[in-house]
Structure 1
Amino acid sequence: MKTANGIIERIASEQSRLSGKRFNIAVKNKITFLLRLRRLIKNDLREKTHLSLKHSLRAWRHGFMRFHYKTYGLDKSGDPAQYVSDFTFMMNHYKINGRFDELVRNKYAFGLLMNLQGIPTPKIKGLIIKGTFYPLDEARTLPASEFLQAEIIPGEHLALKPIWGNHGFGFINLARDDAGYRLNNESVSRSLICGMVERLDHYIVTEFMHQGEFCRRLFADTSNTIRLVTLWDAETSEAFIARAVMRIGTSRSFPVDNFKAGHGGLSAMIDPDTGELGPGATVDATGKSLWYRHHPESHSPIQGVVVPAWDEVRTRLLEYAGRFAFVPNIGWDILLLDKGFSILEGNSTPGMQVLQIHGPLLTDPRIKRFYQNFHGQRF
């Protein structure tokens, strides 16, 4: 009995220390929030949206950056309360997944976990830390020059990207053929590649996944991915798709399909039942949304095109979300292949603009209930 009491007391003591750590994490999150708020305000003041003072004040009152307020067309019509605002997103989204937020944001850790779950994802080769390569399956390290020699043999094609990051920033498409090295599809010297790798820090190295014919027809120069957001419904104990969009690159967004305002990428909404695409949307430097039925450069049709094998994609993603029920909010980045698909990464706080340019999220009762369950807020 004394032994049992001792164990209970020890566990209670350990839990107390863990509570202290949680307090430190809460403080860290508050500091992070203040820094984000500062950056949000600075960015908003820097953007030239040409909004009137009336609409600028209305945007701020409802928690929106003026840029996104204009992107959503709220300067013309619409109810701001039906949208997830920038302030709400910044205040609450990192809290939804709790400590697992860090797991999903870490592309290396989440990639390994997806692989363990049998989810199709690019093979991880290793990490680059301060210019040194750490292979996943070997107990050794390689400086940049040896990494190029050992890991990038002729015929090899790799993707390098920051472990933590978004919007495709820092993405590197690195290949080698009989003619030499290629960086983002351009021929470069070995010395240039070596110097670049030496400057990389906290980068994940994976195999490069080649998109299928459907995506190539949309725009061949970038990998065009589906962003599919799943939420966990605590009342029904099942995942559902909050929204899915097809992200399509342009010459301005190259080498990725970056939709982030001003970077040129397109977003086309996917009908969750049929897989049919709506028109592609992009945003100019003032926050104005522009819409295309055909790709502005490849001229390939967008609106009305149906995502191949959509039923399989939808079914399997809901299954995968169920395996991660303890992570209730995930944005999945999916690359369609000629056979099947690959999940390139997950996102713990998937951006709202690429989703809500197609309309507000909170008109869906399930999504609204999801946020209310987590935050007790009246949206």
Structure 2
Amino acid sequence: MILKRHFRRAYTCARGYYLAVSQPNPDAPRVTTRLHGVLKARFRYRIGPRYYSLYRLASVEPSRWNDYVIDNKAYGDNFRSISEERFRSIINRKSLFFAHCVHHSLPTPPVRAIIPPSNGAHTGGDGFDITGPVATNARDWLGLVQTGEGDLFIKSDDGAYGDGAFSAIRQSDRWHYCGRASSLSDLFYYVRERANRSQTCFIAQSRIHAHDELRSLMSPTAVGCVRIVTYMREGEAHLFCAEIKLTAGNGETDNFGLAANGNMVAAVDMDSGRLAVGYASRSLAWPVIQPIAEHPDTGKRIEGTRLPLWEEVKSLALQAQRSLPEVKTIGWDIAITPEGPLILEGNTTYGLASLQIAHQRGFKREMEQIFRG
């Protein structure tokens, strides 16, 4: 068993190096140079083959490789060391974050219902009790959801990266979700079963839609958010950088997923709100990052598009950061909707991979300054 596990690890490692060398970007150098580059990145800069491919380092001067942040445990420890866990939990638990947004007048999609496991566990591992519209049975659920209008977006209370999230679309008296069509009561039992398996609550929010000016840059099934990073310095909230996640295909979330979900990212100019060229992988099996000039579903040009309500987005991000000064830096996911910008969630340990891909440069120096305060 141990030998089999070691063999599997060795195979995975060797396959990563093979893919990094054999699936280059169109502007990458010849294969022998790529092989030398992959080995140099690993042994001199501790950058593995996947990140070598994600950051297109074959086309980047080696003198700039050390500017890139690698999302690993040591990097995550930096976030945890600068902010107390009790304040981070307010953001990381979605039901708590919703209550925080309501208290601080931060616009966010309403929570229609919270579905705990059937054992009645309303408390997370962080010790916070869940407050809000809790539905412990189908009757509670019907009373909470039937009074609202529109479709639902359902996700785990402590989930990340869009894992396990799905939409439930109302069509007459039937709800369509995860390849199923059922009654509203059956939807409750389906969600509660998932809550039982994971032993965590699920929350049902009103499903949102993209602003009219952005619909040609999004798929019809998922709204892409602006990821805008803020930080605290000397008691003041500041903006750092921003990207937008552009959805494509039939996925239900905007997660970039290290380029494994078919979505795109584009840098946003902080002053003007204009988009740079998009980036995505031409392969879902391995990151082969390339520039994308037009949205693949609609043909809409990405570069140069100006985001609507950009000043409002920046103002909302700063307002949200000021509401939690104890958390020194936060990556906000803000959707631009017909009703205005809405905060979907905050991220206290936000990954830098998609931001660095979107901006085509590393942010290590800036992040070190943020960590130092």
TM-score range normalised by the length of the shorter chain: 0.7 to 0.9
Question: What do the CA deviations read for 1:19-52 (whole angstroms, capped 9, x no partner)?
Answer: xxxxxxxxxxxxxxxxxxxxx9997666463335
Provide closer, same or farther for how the CA distance between residues 354 and 131 of structure 1 changes in structure 2, counting only shifts above 3 A.
farther
Separation (CA, whole Å) in 2 of partners of 1:213 and 1:292: 22
CA distance in 1, matches of 2:225, 2:97: 18
User: What amino acid is the match of 1:174?
Assistant: A
Q: Which amino acid counterpart does residue 341 of structure 1 have in structure 2?
A: P
Aligned ranges 1:76-115 → 2 under 5 Å? 76-78=59-61, 79-87=64-72, 88-99=74-85, 100-115=87-102
Q: Match of 2:136?
A: 142
Paired residue for 2:227?
A: 227
Hey, what's the Cα distance between the residues in 2 that align with 1:330 and 1:46?
A: 35
Distance 1:194 1:162, change over 3 A: closer
* In 1: Cα distance, 2:10 partner to 2:205 partner: 36
Partner of 1:68: 51
Deviation string 1:60-91 (CA, Å, 9 cap, x unpaired) is 34233321222112133231221112344244
Cα distance in 1 for residues equivalent to 2:156 and 2:15: 27
Contact 1:159 1:172 in 2 (8 A): yes
Do the aligned partners of 2:71 and 2:351 also contact (CA within 8 Å) in 1? Answer: no
SS at match of 1:200: helix
The 8 Å contact of residues 124 and 136 in structure 1, kept in 2 or not, is answered as no
Normalization by structure 2: what TM-score?
Answer: 0.78
Which 5+ residue runs of structure 1 have no aligned equivalent? 1-39, 375-379
Counterpart position of 2:37: 55
| Residue 120 of structure 1 pairs with residue 107 of structure 2 | yes
- Alpha-carbon distance between aligned partners in 1 of 2:154 and 2:15, rounded to the nearest angstrom: 31
In structure 2, runs of 5+ residues without a counterpart are: 1-8, 22-33, 123-129, 196-200
Q: State the SS of the aligned residue for 1:282.
A: strand
The one-letter code sitting in structure 1 at the alignment partner of 2:90 is L
Identity rate, percent: 24
> Are 1:65 and 1:86, in contact at CA under 8 Å, matched by a contact in 2?
no
State the partner residue of 1:256: 253
The one-letter code of the counterpart of 1:183 is Y
Q: 2:242 aligns with which of 241, 244, 251?
A: 244
Deviation at residue 307 of structure 1 after TM alignment: 0.5
In the aligned structure 2, how far is the partner of 1:44 from the partner of 1:129?
A: 40
Which whole-Å CA distance do the structure 1 matches of 2:11 and 2:157 have between them?
26
* Distance in 1 between residues matched to 2:233 and 2:176, nearest whole Å: 45
Following superposition, the deviation at residue 264 of structure 1 comes to 0.5
1:1-379 map, 5 Å: 47=16, 49-51=19-21, 54-61=36-43, 62-78=45-61, 79-87=64-72, 88-99=74-85, 100-130=87-117, 137=132, 141-143=135-137, 145-146=138-139, 149-153=142-146, 155-183=149-177, 188-190=181-183, 193-201=187-195, 202-219=201-218, 220-234=220-234, 237-251=235-249, 254-260=251-257, 261-283=259-281, 284=283, 285-357=285-357, 358-362=359-363, 366-371=366-371, 373=372
Q: 1:53: how far off?
A: 5.2
Name the aligned partner's letter for residue 50 of structure 1: A
Distance 2:115 2:15 in 1: 34
What is the distance in 2 between the residues matched to 1:93 and 1:197? 32
Shift of 1:366: 4.9
